[in-house]
Amino acid sequence: MKDYSQFGEFTQFLKPIFTFYGVRYGVLVDIGASGRDLSNSYNLIAEHGFQAILVEPVNFSRVEREIQSDFPALVAVDKSAVSQTEGTAKMFLHTVPEHHSLVSTWYPPTDGHKTQDVPTVRIGTLLKKWDLPWDFDYLTIDVEGLDIDLVQDMIDNTTYRPRVLLFEHLYATPQQVQTIKMNLHAAGYSIIFENNANIGLVLDEIQQAKPLSNTSRAYGNTFWTKHRIR
């Protein structure tokens, strides 16, 4: 199957990591999932049967059409925007859907500065809502400008520590990148992968433990039944 990730993250990072260390729950969360192309979660769903929460407040119909419709038993779509605050906020829209952002200055708008009100939740609220284990398998974040802030909010204000973490740093300052790396190291993560767009990390506990001999999905195939968003 084609690698649908942004810049080869699946082939270079995700596939080798999960092949070597194994899969504990078979559960992932993709915050900022805008569709199949450039998805850092699609291959894990399609090839490895991961159950997924795909979080997307604006392009959710595209996510439903391109991903959920093919894997209805595996995929739930959450129509929230993950932010540092809860309530409602303006999403700044762009002609390129992948560039919609809660940050007005993140990327030059190209469609007349249109906005759309979207519901917002903090990352801890989102993960708790879905009854996720504290060390669920994989979290990927691509939210156009708030990526590092969401990672920092998670490690500062929640007990969630996903076993594998991938987040975008494309337009962060060098100081912001250096700070979040230091903070993640202090939180028990090691950097395994980095390119011009994303940083990939693994929880230190995984590397210290014996690799899982086979996939164990503690929640089974009905994990999403109670919570699926329609």
* CA gap 35, 33 in Å, rounded: 6
pTM over 0.75? The answer is yes
What's the token pair of residue 170?
A: 């494309």
pLDDT means per 10 residues in the chain (230 residues)? Answer: 94 95 94 90 95 89 87 92 92 78 69 81 97 96 91 98 95 94 97 95 84 42 35
Please name each of the domains of the chain with its CATH number: 9-81+124-210 (3.40.50.150)
| pLDDT score of 112 | 57
